[in-house]
Structure 1
Amino acid sequence: MRATDMGTPMRDTADKVDLSACRLCVIRNRGSGKQDAEAQAKTIREALQGRVAEFALRETSRGDQLQDLARQAVRDGFDVVVAAGGDGTQSAIAGALAGTDTLMGVLPGGTFNYFARDLGVGETIEDALETLLDARPRAVDVGQIDGLVFLNNVSLGAYPHILKTREGIYKRWGRSRLAAYWSVMVALRRLRHPMRLTATVEGEEQRYTTALVFVARSAYQLDSFGLDGADAIRAGNLAVLIAKARKPLPLMRSAVRLALGFSAKDSDFDLIVTESLQIETDKAQQLIAHDGEKTRMKSPFHVQVMHGALKVLVPADGSNKTQDAGA
């Protein structure tokens, strides 16, 4: 049965997990967030070590190693694999666990933590550790684009280039709100030509000329942006937002909102609600942003919902620690 009170559609799969009988592996991205790495590792160890049948903490500073670590943990026979890091970390580890019987735990450690907020496991490491110790497994829907799993969103056009530009500006000037604003301006100034694309839904083709396509799987994120589509996601669909603006200056308003997490306007976008679609662009390859990461992929792109593909641990009593925290 799908829950309707949380952003990610879910189905109950079992009673409360007896964590003391589980072999548990935490995979931690040392590069996520701004918290002290050693202090965070100590917090995790003190909370879990001795309270599970077997405990392991495996760490990396390289995001491209996360999936391999998660796959190895599955091969090693761990019952629970816990992702400690931001949304990119959660997405990478979910990609390795989707379609398996291995349970996934979530310890948020990034900037936005949309997946953790959707699940209601808590926005701090401490709250999320409490959830792990008193948890129930549920099957959640995830998104997939050409075999790549995503939890929150994928996008084409301006947004991936904003992320790419932002990385360079952060490296040179450091992380700040001003640097984030400036990266949007620089990226959009470089946007000379919009994309021409064809979206095919249930055999029907729709053609667009646009500078931004945003495929959402996080109801929490759309709610925070003030956009329609959250209820469609809760019902198990994708919310596909296609910017109506074609040129840099008109696009800037909606792109700034999306890039910085401010409220957007429904009038800025066309909305497609579907479980699956194909997107074909006029270029053979496009830079795709997925949960804050970037990958160059070949067109056409096949995007779909994988229903119940990921088993995650959520509060056993059905509470939402994110909402309780006033988020």
Structure 2
Amino acid sequence: MAVLLNCSSRSNRAAEQRARLWELLRERGFVAEVLCAEKGPQLGELARRVARGPYDLVVAAGGDGTVNTVASAIAGTEKTMGVLPLGTVNHFAKHLGIPLTLEGAVRTLVEGRRVRVDVGEVNGRAFVNNSTLGIYPGIVRGREALRKRRGLNKWVALALATASGIQRHERVHLRLVLDGQEIELETPFVFVANNDFKLGDVDIGRQRPPCSGELGVCVAHAESRLSTVKLIASAVAGRIHKSTDFSILRTTALRVEAPHRRLYVAADGEVLRMATPLCYRVRPLALRVVAPLSSELNAGSRRREDPSRRIAALGG
């Protein structure tokens, strides 16, 4: 087993987590290589190297960005991904039902079962949760700039960046091509869901998750700054499904055309600058992951039990 630990923390937390992780794995009888890397190109290169190695189980120890990096490297292979949720939001771990404590997550690696889940893709870049364009990538970039420049807490920086994004009220002109339809619109954001309709802990859709092989496409129609504020407030309050400024579509593939040569796109919270058009697709059941035995997943119809039974067999 290889464990990829996101060591981009500015404190001693990463070193403490690494020591505790070694202790818990030894207690469970695992022989593991714990590899530490900074988030970004260093972690991506490490994940690709591990994917080419002899490991049966590759564990993402970090937040959703770390999960995305590991999933991108091993999707479509016979390797299995484990998750140790050490990030802030841990959306994918919550989706799988993985305990958010380190002890509980390590226990899941031993006692859990292998299941297969879909992987979304935009211009060849994988995502396991969602991808967003419009106002949200700008908010993420603003949040990270504030954290770097002023050393702010992540949630404080997010609130300030969101207020700034709403103040600018930037809308993007897009043409969406999906399942034979063409939709032309100006919108503050488009949200493409791979598993459910949550952006972090905010439930955007409150509808059934996409089925296996589907993407859920959420489109905001807010035409003014006030409409955008109301839409975000409805999402936070869990009432966005009642809004007339919001619609949800389902598709097997999506093409997004724009007048700009490049757009900022968020994939599992990581912001990338991508060439247009943006081509979204689903890779059905392309990723094998370890889930708790009792987990039904939020999207039961997307889950398929792997015939190799329990992951505990990897421990010898």
Is it true that 1:121 corresponds to 2:69 in the alignment? no
Instruction: Please name the residue that 1:91 is paired with.
Output: 68
Letter in 1 for 2:141: K
Whether the 8 Å contact between 1:185 and 1:252 is mirrored in structure 2 is: no
Letter in 2 for 1:188: I
Instruction: Please name the residue that 2:162 is paired with.
Output: 184
**1:2-27 CA deviation, whole Å, 9 max, x = no partner?**
xxxxxxxxxxxxxxxxxxxxxx0000
Across the aligned residues of Structure 1 and Structure 2, the Cα RMSD in angstroms comes to 2.5
Instruction: Please name the residue that 1:25 is paired with.
Output: 2
Matches within 5 A, 1:26-45: 26-31=3-8, 36-45=13-22
**Which secondary structure does the structure 2 equivalent of 1:232 belong to?**
coil
Whether the 8 Å contact between 1:25 and 1:81 is mirrored in structure 2 is: yes
Please identify, of 121-130 and 78-87, the stretch whose mean Cα deviation from structure 2 is larger. Answer: 121-130
Letter in 2 for 1:131: T
Q: 1:318 aligns with which of 294, 305, 308?
A: 294
Unaligned runs of 5+ in 1: 1-23, 323-327
Percent identical among aligned pairs is: 34
Whether the 8 Å contact between 1:103 and 1:313 is mirrored in structure 2 is: yes
Instruction: Please name the residue that 2:314 is paired with.
Output: none
Letter in 2 for 1:181: A
For 1:173 and 1:33, how far apart are their aligned partners in 2? 10
**Which secondary structure does the structure 1 equivalent of 2:32 belong to?**
strand
Q: 2:275 aligns with which of 298, 306, 312?
A: 298
For 2:237 and 2:100, how far apart are their aligned partners in 1? 19
For 2:32 and 2:156, how far apart are their aligned partners in 1? 42
For 1:223 and 1:177, how far apart are their aligned partners in 2? 12
Change (3 A) 1:69 1:273: same
Letter in 2 for 1:187: G
State the shift of 1:239 in Å. 1.4
For 1:319 and 1:95, how far apart are their aligned partners in 2? 23
Q: 2:240 aligns with which of 242, 248, 265?
A: 265
State the shift of 1:198 in Å. 1.0
Whether the 8 Å contact between 1:225 and 1:257 is mirrored in structure 2 is: no
Unaligned runs of 5+ in 2: 299-316
State the shift of 1:153 in Å. 1.1
Compute the TM-score of the two structures, normalised by the length of structure 2.
0.85
Q: 1:143 aligns with which of 102, 107, 120?
A: 120
For 1:183 and 1:165, how far apart are their aligned partners in 2? 5
For 2:125 and 2:233, how far apart are their aligned partners in 1? 26
Letter in 2 for 1:273: R
Letter in 2 for 1:265: I
For 1:321 and 1:241, how far apart are their aligned partners in 2? 21
Instruction: Please name the residue that 2:303 is paired with.
Output: none
Matches within 5 A, 1:102-251: 102-171=79-148, 172-175=150-153, 177-192=155-170, 194-219=171-196, 221=198, 224-228=201-205, 230-251=207-228
For 1:199 and 1:310, how far apart are their aligned partners in 2? 27
Whether the 8 Å contact between 1:156 and 1:289 is mirrored in structure 2 is: yes
Is it true that 1:283 corresponds to 2:283 in the alignment? no
Aligned residue pair count:
295
State the shift of 1:312 in Å. 0.5
**1:97-119 CA deviation, whole Å, 9 max, x = no partner?**
10111111000011110100111
**1:121-162 CA deviation, whole Å, 9 max, x = no partner?**
211221110000112111111111011000111111110001
For 2:159 and 2:121, how far apart are their aligned partners in 1? 30
Matches within 5 A, 1:57-72: 57-72=34-49
**Which secondary structure does the structure 2 equivalent of 1:231 belong to?**
coil
State the shift of 1:232 in Å. 3.5
Letter in 1 for 2:166: L
